[in-house]
Structure 1
Amino acid sequence: MSDSSRNVESENERTIEVFCRVRPTKKLSRLYSLEDNETITFNVPHEQSAGVVNNQKEIFQFPFAQVFDQHVKQEDIFDHVAKKVVNNVIDGYNGTIFAYGQTGSGKTFTITGGPEHYSDRGVIPRSINAIFSHIDANRSQAMFAVHISYLEIYNNNGYDLLDPDHDNKKLEDLQKVVLMDDENGNTRLSHISVQPASSAEDALNWLFIGDTNRVICETPMNDASSRSHCIFMIALETRCLRTDMIRRSRLNLVDLAGSERTAKTQVDGRILTEARAINLSLHYLEQCIVALHEKAQGKRVHVPYRNSMITSILKDSLGGNCKTVMIANINADDSHVIESISTCRFAQRVAMISNSATINEELDPSLIIQRLKHRVEELEARLSVYEQGESGTAAEDASRTLDPHKISQLELQIDGFLDRDDDGLVSALIDLPKGQLSHSFLYLKRCIKSNVKQRLAGRIIF
């Protein structure tokens, strides 16, 4: 189904790829440097107040799959980070792309993009365009269905960003999205809408509606800070016209709310409550990351996914059936070096997690039913031929469907059967398909009516 030029991974199990993106800053930082686009190094001087009198620098190095400097374009982020995951989703795998970092580090710009220029489109709109470009190029080979959902997690409560009641109700009055476990132990979302999208324009419109309903506010760190975790979900269903298989895959595009040190920002009131909820949920996320690493080493079994809503939803994305990549967004300003190092440390833990992804495909029940119906009709037709005997229009119609080569081959078999004492062909004739069985009866009828002795050169005596 996918283009042969795409290099889709064949490995079922692999670690999560982590990337780093440095947000542009007006003042060039003296504390970090990039090495061969795969390693970021921080040189942090000790403060004399900490009791270090020689002002010795401490070096922190963090390897990544790739580090993007301040001049990287949005197109490059999609091509090097997201495109492979989107292609995996097209091929039937689940995929997740999530951005992590302190508030104001550029996560929302990376995932959603900016409104000023078309080139500022983020991962979500570019992923939408890539999926529908594939669909438009393959409509003659398969049937596709795309559905969109958009979830916001604010103060650990889930809300449907596509709920039309956003226009006339306060946030606290909206129906909350809740988590439910099915009979197989899988986590499901209840009270969230699933909107159909027949084109890229439809999907982008749902993105726009959801973004207008997000909770944002001004903070000391960010003029338009996202105060919630947001997950844009694309469900893709592919029915191949040449097989009975159906593939169902999902792409999660996650913009995590930014962590912040409340003592540093000195916020209060509602913003402080939001910051505490964000930090707590990110703490639970880090707990799961650590637990997954320890589980891989055989040190523990339980992973506390249920501690928060965001970790419950990301259960498959972290250590499950999913192709996952992470973007660590950091602010290059010297005043944020501690937060940047903390983000990089978190990314290194994520990079140690292994996911085991499989293609989500199954036999299409509707096609199976259709095939069984055709089989029943064929068997009923064969039964009708038996009941009618050697004559009748049904047998003649069935005989006409055979190609000349098959007819010649079948008549030679019957000639051999008539010529020899071996009756082994009788059992073979009984199991013949309808068309061949009908022609066998008609051919025997013609043999009987014709001069059999002359036809077979004296080999057959009736």
Structure 2
Amino acid sequence: MEKICVAIRLRPPTKQNVVRGHHWKVSDNSISLLSAAGSVVSGHTFAFDTIFGADAKNINIYEQHAKDVVLSAVAGFNGTVFAYGQTSSGKTYTMRGSESEPGITRLAVNEIFRHIQKASDREYLIRVSYMEIYNEEINDLLTPDSRKLQVHENLEKGVFVAGLREEIVDSVEQVLGLLEAGEVQRHFGETNMNINSSRSHSIFRMVIESRSKCHGGQGSDDVDAVRVSELNLVDLAGSERIAKTGAGGVRLKEGGHINKSLMCLGNVINKLCEGGAKQGAHIPYRDSKLTRILQTALGGNARTAIICTMTPDEEQIDESRGTLQFASRAKRVTNCAQVNETLTDAALLKRQKKEIEELLLKLQGQGSKPSEELEKEIKHLRNDLLKIELEREKLELELQEEKKALNDKLKEQERKIENLSTMVISSATDDFGQLSQKGSRRETWCPRQVTSDPDIQRMKKTAKEFEAPSNFLGSTVPVSLRRSHNLGLPPAFGSLIEDEEDFWKSPDVLDKPPTPADFENVADEDTWASLNGGHMNSDLFNDRFDRRAISSSASEDSRCILLEHQLRELQAQHEQLQTSFNKKELEVSTFKIRLYPQNSNSSLHAYSKTQLSLAWL
């Protein structure tokens, strides 16, 4: 990863502004805006890799700022050098130069061919192309009839212009001749600020292919490997204000397209300097043909150098400030350049064979003694590994046996709990059925044999206590009297119930049906009505029925309570067994952690954490 190299070139002031003095102060590699009083304006100091003053020459700018990018292209890296700035600030002069002072493009061409002539171990193939972007249309400057070319992209070539002519060159003179022919086809125009203003962006591209001359030799690392790199030398049109250029008609349209493409370039630089490429954010390369073609040079696989030109005139302070702000953002953009090398299958096999031979030589050079020590160490490690494996298998068998025993205990407990639950449910169902059957019976006494006269006397005495007076309420309407609250329950009620149960349990009752004589001394409902003056005491019958139901269900309730108590005890035993099972698994997991501290650290840590939480539960 490396940042884009940015340099500032300050052009000389125009003649009419010489007497007014400069408004920009250059100090080493920083430039500051001065106020009318000569003090530095706050927030208007900018620092760059290099700042060239008005007396700097093109050769100085090339040597200090662009030469490294050109030589990288010869070595197999993609490279881009372009000039940016406002109109009439010296961009075309910097890139193209003049006959007496050649620009960056001519100097780069000379450097490339000079390096090729010195290289004796590699052979090169150079292809050149020249295009311009005029009103967002790509034109081939080497073929005037090729207009409105389209930009495409594929995995093999990357981003390329379809139909663009490429010329194979082998000398500096041939390249310079193509440059001159292309300049004739380029669009220039006159404005109020520049007599010979560039109305389009031009891109001069050199494709450099190289490979080693040692075919089949053993001393070359890149046998049959081909390096392909691109060097883009870009002269951008300058940003301009319509009010100052006085453009109209065709010039106005050209200026609009120029400003739009430069704005898209600024947007791409802003996104890249904010780290958008690393965060996966969208970079708007496709908003303009210029940014689309220069996509590799901006945040991609290339080494890039930018030369920002500016004028010190007071009337151009705003434009100069905008140029410096663009340069400051571009300086924070990083590229990831690497050698573009293509290997054939044969070249890849040769390289791998060579690496194998080098490794074998290293092993043979170590001697026999180190190899014997290594073999002993390997045997010792194998024995240790075998012991660990045996111990691990033994522990696994023990763990399986313990798990089986615990599972059997758990199943037995679950079976007991299920049986008890079934008993509780069936008991509750029987109690409910008995209560429903008893509740549906008539509220009368069960047939029993009255064997003693005291029973009859007691019943008559009780009936007299509930007898209503004849003049009660002065009415002849039958009135059902309730017993007073100070009277208790009939004293022989419990004994009657016990006698009834004994009666039905007697085998004689079940063997033979009752005879009419058995019911002679039974007090039925009519008898009770006659004893009470023709009225029935319903509360007395209801009270007796309730007591009978309570006494009959008391034993069933105690049985249910006992079963529930046993069920809770079994559940507690089940929980204890589950806790002991979890502790055993935790001990085995801890032993595995000590046994395999590296391989099972992460997985056993999560497993032990889970078992600890279960043990606490």
| TM-score, normalised via structure 2 length | 0.52
Give the whole-Å Cα distance in 1 for the aligned partners of 2:157 and 2:108. Answer: 30
2-structure distance, mates of 1:44, 1:108 = 30
Q: Which residue of 1 aligns with 2:196?
A: 224
Deviations 1:169-207 (A, max 9, x none): xxxxx4322101214693221111001111111111111
Please provide the CA RMSD for this pair. Answer: 2.3
Counterpart of 2:113 (choices 126, 132, 135) is 132
**Structure 1 residue 267: Cα displacement:** 1.5
Paired position in structure 2 for 1:187 = 159
Aligned pair partner of 1:271 in 238, 251, 271: 251
2:150 — aligned with what? 178
Give, in whole Å, the separation in 1 of the partners of 2:137 and 2:179: 20
167, 188, 206: which one pairs with 1:234?
A: 206
Match among 272, 281, 284 for residue 304 of structure 1: 284
The answer to whether the aligner puts 1:93 opposite 2:77 as a matched pair is yes
- Among 270, 275, 282, the residue aligned to 1:295: 275
1:339 and 1:89, CA in 2 relative to 1: closer, same or farther beyond 3 A? same
The answer (yes or no) to whether the contact 2:32–2:40 under 8 Å persists in 1 is no
* Aligned-residue offset at 1:262: 1.2
User: Corresponding residue for 2:169?
Assistant: 197
The whole-number CA distance in structure 2 between the counterparts of 1:300 and 1:249 is 26
Specify which of 24, 37, 47 is matched with residue 12 of structure 2. Answer: 24
Aligned to 2:149, what secondary structure does the other structure show? Answer: strand
SS at match of 1:221: coil
- Distance in 2, matches of 1:113 and 1:366, equals 46
The answer (yes or no) to whether the contact 1:45–1:56 under 8 Å persists in 2 is no
Question: What is the identity, as a one-letter code, of the residue corresponding to 1:330?
Answer: M
2:89 is the counterpart of 1:105: yes
Question: In 2, Cα distance between the equivalents of 1:109 and 1:366?
Answer: 48
Cα deviation 1:135-162 (Å, max 9, x = unaligned): 1112x31211001001100001000010
More helix as a share of residues: 2
- One-letter amino acid matched to 1:237: E
Alignment of 1:332-371 (within 5 A): 332-364=312-344
Q: Distance in 2 between matches of 1:267 and 1:354?
A: 37
CA distance change for structure 1 residues 80 and 57 in 2, over 3 Å: closer, same or farther?
closer
Deviations 1:210-267 (A, max 9, x none): 1111100111110100000010001101111132221111100011110001133232
C-alpha distance in 2 between matches for 1:332 and 1:181: 41
Letter in 2 for 1:123: I
Task: Determine the C-alpha separation between the residues in 2 that align with 1:263 and 1:302.
Answer: 34
Q: CA deviation at 1:364?
A: 4.6
1:57-456 alignment to 2 at 5 Å?
Answer: 60-115=44-99, 117=100, 120-138=101-119, 140-165=120-145, 174-183=146-155, 186-242=158-214, 243-296=223-276, 301-364=281-344
Q: Is the 8 A contact 1:42 1:61 kept in 2?
A: yes
Gaps of 5+ in 1: 1-12, 47-54, 166-173, 372-462
The alpha carbon displacement at 1:56 in A equals 10
% identical equivalent positions: 37
Structure 1 residue 348: Cα displacement: 0.5
Post-superposition offset of 1:334: 1.5
Amino acid at match of 2:336: S
CA contact (8 A) 2:87 2:237 kept: yes
Give the whole-Å Cα distance in 2 for the aligned partners of 1:297 and 1:363. Answer: 29
CA distance in 2, matches of 1:321, 1:360: 9
Distance 1:188 1:366, change over 3 A: farther
Q: 2:409 maps to which residue?
A: none
Change (3 A) 1:297 1:251: closer
CA contact (8 A) 1:101 1:258 kept: yes
Task: Please tell me the residue identity of whatever aligns with 2:47.
Answer: P
- In the alignment, the residues of structure 2 paired with residue 304 and residue 33 of structure 1 have an alpha-carbon distance, to the nearest angstrom, of 35
SS across alignment from 1:222: coil
TM score, norm. by length of structure 1: 0.70
Matching residue's letter, 2:260: L
Which runs of no fewer than 5 residues in structure 2 stay unpaired?
Answer: 215-222, 351-617
Give the residue type in structure 2 aligned to 1:132: F
What code does the residue aligned with 1:112 have?
R
2:192–2:244 contact (8 Å) kept in structure 1 = no
> Structure 2: which amino acid aligns with 1:24?
P
Partner deviation per Cα, 1:393-447 (whole Å, 9 max, x = no partner)? xxxxxxxxxxxxxxxxxxxxxxxxxxxxxxxxxxxxxxxxxxxxxxxxxxxxxxx
2:202 aligned counterpart, secondary structure: strand
Q: Deviation at 1:105? A: 0.5
- Which aligned segments of 4 or more residues in structure 1 are displaced greater than 6 angstroms? 297-300, 365-369
Contact 2:22–2:312 at 8 Å: present in 1 too?
A: no
Higher relative contact order (CA 8 A, sep 6+): 1
Contact 1:237 1:247 in 2 (8 A): yes
329-338 vs 358-367, which moves further = 358-367
Distance 1:136 1:364, change over 3 A: farther
Matching of residue 40 in structure 1 with residue 21 in structure 2: no
- d(CA) in 1 for partners of 2:279, 2:115: 44
Change (3 A) 1:240 1:339: same
Alpha-carbon contact 1:176-1:191 (below 8 Å) kept: no
Alpha-carbon distance, 1:164 to partner: 4.8
| Contact 2:88-2:193 within 8 A present in 1 as well | yes
Say if 1:364 and 1:128 are closer, same or farther in 2 by CA, change over 3 A: farther
Shift of 1:366: 8.0
Cα separation, 1, equivalents of 2:307 and 2:89: 11
Q: Does the 8 Å contact 2:225/2:341 carry over to 1?
A: yes
Q: Which moved more, 1:207-216 or 1:240-249?
A: 240-249
**How many Å separate the matches in 1 of 2:33 and 2:2?**
28
Give the number of equivalent residue pairs.
338
CA distance in 2: counterparts of 1:312 and 1:249, whole angstroms: 18
* One-letter identity of the residue aligned with 1:18: V
Change (3 A) 1:199 1:57: closer
CA contact (8 A) 1:45 1:58 kept: no
Q: Tell me by how many angstroms 1:60 deviates.
A: 1.2
What's the CA shift string for 1:108-142, capped at 9, x where partnerless?
Answer: 01011123x1xx1000111000000011112x312
Q: 1:100 to 1:247 in 2, by over 3 A?
A: same
Point out the structure with the larger strand share: 1
Note closer, same or farther for the CA distance 1:298–1:114 as it changes in structure 2 (3 Å cut): same
> Aligned partners of 2:34, 2:156: CA distance in 1, in Å?
49
* 3-state SS of 1:324 partner: strand
